[in-house]
Chain A
Amino acid sequence: MNRPLTIVVPVKHVPDAAQERVLAGDPPRLQRGTGILCELDEYALEAALQLVEARGGTAAGHRVLALTMGPAPAADALKRALQLGADAAVHVLDDALAGSDAWATALVLAAAVRRTAEEEGRPVDLVLTGMASTDGETSLVPGQLAERLGLAHVGFATALSLDDDAAALTAVHATATESLRVEAPLPALVAVTDRSSTPRYPSFKAILAAKKKPVRTWSAADLGLGPEQVGTVGSRTEVLGAEARPPRTAGRVIHDDGEGGIRLAEFLLAERLV
C-alpha cells in the first residue's frame, strides 16, 4: 500500500557560523543579521525527501512541508527549503515570539503542526527535525515537540526507513557505548544527525519551481496562543549575562627540521602535561 504521507520538517534560520556571532542587549540575545538555513536541518529535509521520493514523491500525493518560526528574514530559510524540494511552507511570524526558549518554541511549533494537519485535511505522519540548531545548540526542541504532540520519538537517529505500508519506522540511534535499532509506530518524530544522509543541492529547475510554491504565514493568535505564552515572557529560562570568551590565540609554531617530535615532547614536559 502506498498511503500518501504528510511530513513536516521544522527548520530554523540561523546566523552563519562562519561569520562573527555576537550576544548583546539586556537580556542578552543573539544578534540576527543575515542568516542561513541551519545546516543540520538540511539533513532532516533530505531524509523527508528521500522517504517520499522512494514512494513516488509529490505525484503520488506525498507532501513535505517546511515549518519555521522566526522574524521576517526567516522566510529565506523557507525559500531554501522549497528550493531543496519541500512542497509548501509555513511561517509563524509574530514580534511577540522574539526571545522564545525551547519551551516556548516547542509550544508554538506544536500548535503549528496541529494547524497544518487541519489545513491539509489529513494527519501529519512524521515530524522530522535536525539534531540541533547551530545557534542555540540545545537539542531540546525535538523532544519537547514530541512530548507536546504525544508522538513516539527517536532522537539522534543516524539512519531511518519506513515499512512498506508506512505504519512504522525503523531507525538507528547511536549512544556512546552501543548502536540501538529502534522501531516506532507512525505518527512519530525523528531527529536525524549528519550521519543520516548527504543533503542535496537545489537544481536550477528546482529553484525556479520554488517560486510558485505556497507559503502560509500565521501569527501566534492564529495558532490560539496569547502573547504571554510565547517570547521572553512565555519562556521557562532566562539569560542573565553573556561574555565573549577570549579567542584562542596562536602560540609558537615550529617547523620540523628532524627534531619536531623532540620539541613537542619537551613542550609537554615544560607545561607539566606528562
Chain B
Amino acid sequence: MTTTLVVLGGTQRLRRADRELLVLAGGLGGTHAVVPGAPGQELLDALAAHGTAAVHVPAGEPDDRLTTPLTALTEAAARACAADAVLLSATPEATDVAARLGVRLEAGVVTDVVALDAQLTATKQVLAGGWTTRCRARGGVLVATVRPHAVELPDPAPPAGEPAGRPALRRHELTDGAPAARIVGRDPLPPTGRPSPAEARVVVAGGRGTGGDFGPLEELADVLGAAIGASRAAVDAGWIGPEAQIGQTGLTVSPQLYVSCGISGALQQRAGMQTAKVVVAVNKDPQAPVFEIADLGVVGDLRTVLPQAAAHLRRLRS
C-alpha cells in the first residue's frame, strides 16, 4: 500500500489547498500529515475526518529560519512513516522545501503536478502550458508539488460526523544545523477582501490599458465573485501589488473564466492563463494578440464595456 505524506500549510484549520492534497493522498492509500507547529483541535478533527493515520509535528517551537525547519521536519516524518510520496501545495516556498527534501531523501521531485495516479505517475503542464507530460520518480520516493484546483473536492467536504479514529501524534526532535537565512521582519500584505487569483473560479485581470483605474474591473468582479489579477505592466506601474500578477513570473491560474481587460496578451502573460476554461478579452486594439486565444473578444474601451456588463448582470439577477 502507498503511504503518502501530506505537508500542510497551517496549524489551525485546513485550507482548500490542504484538503486537495488530503483527498489526493486518500485515493492512493494511507495518509500521514506534517503540521509545521502545534496543531489546533479543529485541525486534528479535520485530519481525523480525512482518515489521517498520524500527524507529524515539531517537538519545539518553530523558529525564524526560512525553509530549513520545514524541510527537516518533513524529512524526519518521511523517514518515520517510510513515505512513498510526499505532497506539497505548489507555492514558491513549498518549491524550495521540495527541492531540498529531494536531495535529502534522494527522491525524484516533480513540480506543479495536476494529476497523480495509483502508480504515482504525475501529470503536469510544461513549456508555459503548451505541453502536458507524464513523469515519475525512478525508484525511491516521489516528492510532488500540486497545483491548486488540480483536485476536485467532494461536496460537502470533508465528511463530517464521527471521525474514523484519532490520528497518532508524532513529535520530532529536530537538530538540523544547516546554514539558513533568518526572517528578521514581516510585512503582511493588505487584505483585498477578495479570493486570491490562484484559488478563484473567476479571475478579472487588468493591464496597462486600465490606466491605473481598476474600478471598472472591481465592479465586474463584485458581480462575478471574482479575484482581481494583473499583467506585469500594471504591477510594474505600481497600480496593484505583485501578488496579483499572472504570468510566467507571477501566478499560473486555471479558472473557469478569465476576463482579460486592457492586456495585450504577451507570451509571458499567456503562460499564466492559457489553461483557463473560458477566456474573455476586452481590448481597444483589434490587433492585440489576446484575441487569438479569447473565446469571446470585445474590441472596445474597458471603461465603458465592463460597467455595462456588470450593470446588465446585476439587472438580470434582481
Contacts and interface: CB of A to CB of B under 8 A. Distances in A.
- B is a partner of A: yes
Interface of A: 17-18, 21, 23, 28, 30, 40, 101-103, 106, 131-132, 134-144, 146-148, 150-156, 158, 170-171, 173-185, 188, 193-195, 235-245, 247-256, 259-269, 271, 273-274
A271 B277 CA distance: 11
Given A143-B97, A251-B294, A261-B307, 5 more contacts: A102-B99, A177-B243, A237-B138, A243-B133, A255-B300
B311 A261 contact: yes
Given A106-B103, A237-B110, A267-B296, A175 B93 contact: yes
Contacts of A158: 242
B132 A245 contact: yes
A45 to B, nearest CB: 16
Interface stretch (B42-50, B52-60, B160-168, B178-186): B178-186
Contacts, number: 291
A135 B127 contact: yes
A264 to B, nearest CB: 4
A269 to B, nearest CB: 7
B36 interface: no
B263 to A, nearest CB: 15
B152 interface: no
Contact of B183 (A132, A134, A181, A271): A181
Contacts of B280: 264, 267-268
A144 B99 contact: yes
Nearest to B256: A273
Given A150-B178, A261-B309, A241 B134 contact: yes
A263 B298 CA distance: 9
Contacts of B96: 139, 142-143, 153, 155-156
Q: Is the interface of B mostly helix, strand, loop or mixed?
A: mixed
A135 to B, nearest CB: 7
Contacts of B232: 194
Given A180-B183, A236-B102, A260-B298, A175 B91 contact: yes
A184 B65 CA distance: 10
Contacts of B112: 137-138
Contacts of B104: 147
Interface stretch (B19-27, B78-86, B207-215, B285-293): B285-293
B188 interface: yes
A273 B107 CA distance: 41
Contact of A260 (B198, B274, B305): B305
Contact of A239 (B125, B128, B134, B293): B134
Contacts of B107: 236
B133 A242 contact: yes
B295 A103 contact: no
A21 B249 contact: no
Contact of A251 (B132, B180, B297): B297
A256 B99 contact: no
A66 to B, nearest CB: 21
B100 interface: yes
Please indicate which of the listed interface residues B136, B242, B313 has the most CB atoms of chain A within 10 Å of its own CB: B313
B297 A254 contact: yes
Please indicate which of the listed interface residues B92, B196, B242, B313 has the most CB atoms of chain A within 10 Å of its own CB: B92
B189 interface: yes
B146 interface: no
A250 B292 contact: yes
A141 B111 CA distance: 12
Nearest to B296: A267
Given A183-B184, A238-B138, A251-B295, A243 B274 contact: no
A235 B109 CA distance: 10
Given A185-B179, A236-B138, A241-B134, A147 B99 contact: yes
B304 interface: yes
A174 B250 CA distance: 11
Nearest to B306: A261
Nearest to B281: A253
